[in-house]
Amino acid sequence: MQHQAFQPHPEIAQRFEDLHPPFARQAATIEANRCLNCFDAPCTAACPTHIDVPRFIKKISSDNVHGSATTILEANILGASCARVCPVDVLCEGACVMHRLNEEPIQIGRLQRHAMDYFYKSGRKLSLKVSELRPEKIACIGAGPASLACAAELQQHGFQVTVFDRKPLAGGLNTYGVAEYKLRSVDSLREVELVRSLGVNFEVKDFTSQADLEQLEADFKIIFLGVGLGPMRKLNIPGENHPKVVDALEFISSYKTGGRISVGSKVVVIGAGNTAIDAANAAKRLGAEEVHVLYRREERDISAFSFEYENAKRAGIQFHWNTIPVAVHHDDMSLASIECAQVWPSDKDEFRKIPSSSFHLECHLLIPAIGQAGLLEFLSKCRGVELAQERVVVERATGQTANPRYFAGGDCVNGGREVVDAVADGKRAAIGIANVLQHEAAYA
């Protein structure tokens, strides 16, 4: 079965304007010319996919924008989404030597977006790196960034790749889980189309039984696991099974795909990671008057990047530190309030309620965003694949698991990092897979 076509909801596009608008052509040229063209550039070293940043930037300044885009895609097939979602402040732009000149770093993310926008607008496709198809078939499970990167790299080297996903649209979190003002679903799907145009086959399929996996092992020479993480963790408090309690990923995917374009006037988000911040910002843009974020630790402990946190504060989101939800009060139709309590940290993950500190926050929608569990049930069916702390254990440089027929990458390996990390994992695994298969072919 093919993935379905997708039409964005016009209202969503309007409410979620670009966080970082694109460069005008002349501005891009001027910015590109600011780049010093460092040797063995720190920005390139800081990028998990090692995009040759000075090279692609200099190509913009020489007006070779197509060449710039292919330089990016050579290293990172999801260059367009990474240009938008990468935390550049802590990656390439954070490493820019301009900081040491007491100047603003080169706006690498926006320049990358400039090149990628040009590429997709031109309608040109990527060419394969080899002319001959190879007989080996490879399956990628999950259609998120790790699998897309793995599939694109293998297909470009002549292997035949099929990507399976249980969701109707490919792209994984890029399509379903990233705040719309950073990355629109349509832009993510554009990248899926680029991968498809290389010859990668996409199928909608959920692997639920051991038998499914056995059939897969029989049909494909190598299996790449790019399955990401499982469902959001539960709060374990009374009332959380109410339909107005929606986990953050489901909430984000529902507005991105046009299923939800409004929220109640008061929204509470639990957790202070990047996903929580995305959900809180989205609630604000979807019309919430008040958005509260509850976090059980202190401000300095949040796992969201500081620029994301600053964005949220600017949007008027209110943060409550050392606070946990205790119960959800509701009637059949709607939520009434969240009962909260102040806590002291007593141990690493233990929190003690401060007596008589509880208070009520009026709330019409509750969005828990307290992290995802691993896909343990599925992964335990993959024979010989070792797990540790809910993650797949792989050899770092190749992505190979304890079962040499299985490779893995992305969130299911690293426990939940950035898109660019998943892409890097996928690409490394592809190179590892190609090495194994070529080695086998040489001795066949």
Residues that bind other proteins (CB under 8 A): 29-30, 33, 36-40, 42, 44-48, 50, 61, 86-87, 90-91, 94-102, 301-306, 396-397, 414-415, 417-418, 420-421, 424, 428
Phi, psi of 341 (to 5 degrees): -140, 150
Whichever of 158 and 371 has its CB closer to other proteins, that residue is: 371
Whichever of 332 and 348 has its CB closer to other proteins, that residue is: 348
Which helix (H) or strand (E) element contains residue 67? Answer: helix 65-75
Closest among 179, 162, 202, 186 to 15, alpha carbons compared? 179
Using an 8 Å Cβ cutoff, are 147 and 426 in contact? yes
For residue 83, the minimal CB distance to other proteins (Å) is 15
Whichever of 173 and 420 has its CB closer to other proteins, that residue is: 420
Burial of 315 (0-12, 13-18, 19+ CB in 10 A): middle
Residue 169 burial (CB count, 10 A) = 23
Buried b (16+ CB within 10 A) or exposed e, 80-103: bbbbbbbbbeebbbebbebeeeee
For residue 137, the minimal CB distance to other proteins (Å) is 28
Whichever of 97 and 327 has its CB closer to other proteins, that residue is: 97
DSSP codes of every residue in 298-336: -GGG--S-HHHHHHHHHTT-EEETTEEEEEEEE-SS-EE
Amino acid in position 72 = I
Which residues are 318's β-sheet partners? 292
Which residues are CB-contacts of 39 (< 8 A; sequence separation ≥ 6)? none
Q: Give the side-chain half-sphere CA count within 13 A for 398.
A: 15
For residue 430, the minimal CB distance to other proteins (Å) is 15
Q: Give the side-chain half-sphere CA count within 13 A for 269.
A: 30
Whichever of 257 and 323 has its CB closer to other proteins, that residue is: 323
Whichever of 121 and 396 has its CB closer to other proteins, that residue is: 396
For residue 49, the minimal CB distance to other proteins (Å) is 9
Buried b (16+ CB within 10 A) or exposed e, 232-245: beebebebbebebb
For residue 256, the minimal CB distance to other proteins (Å) is 22
Residue 13 burial (CB count, 10 A) = 13
Whichever of 61 and 400 has its CB closer to other proteins, that residue is: 61
For residue 417, the minimal CB distance to other proteins (Å) is 6
Whichever of 392 and 420 has its CB closer to other proteins, that residue is: 420
Whichever of 4 and 102 has its CB closer to other proteins, that residue is: 102
Using an 8 Å Cβ cutoff, are 113 and 80 in contact? yes
For residue 17, the minimal CB distance to other proteins (Å) is 26
For residue 101, the minimal CB distance to other proteins (Å) is 6
For residue 105, the minimal CB distance to other proteins (Å) is 8
Residue 168 burial (CB count, 10 A) = 14
Whichever of 211 and 397 has its CB closer to other proteins, that residue is: 397
For residue 412, the minimal CB distance to other proteins (Å) is 15
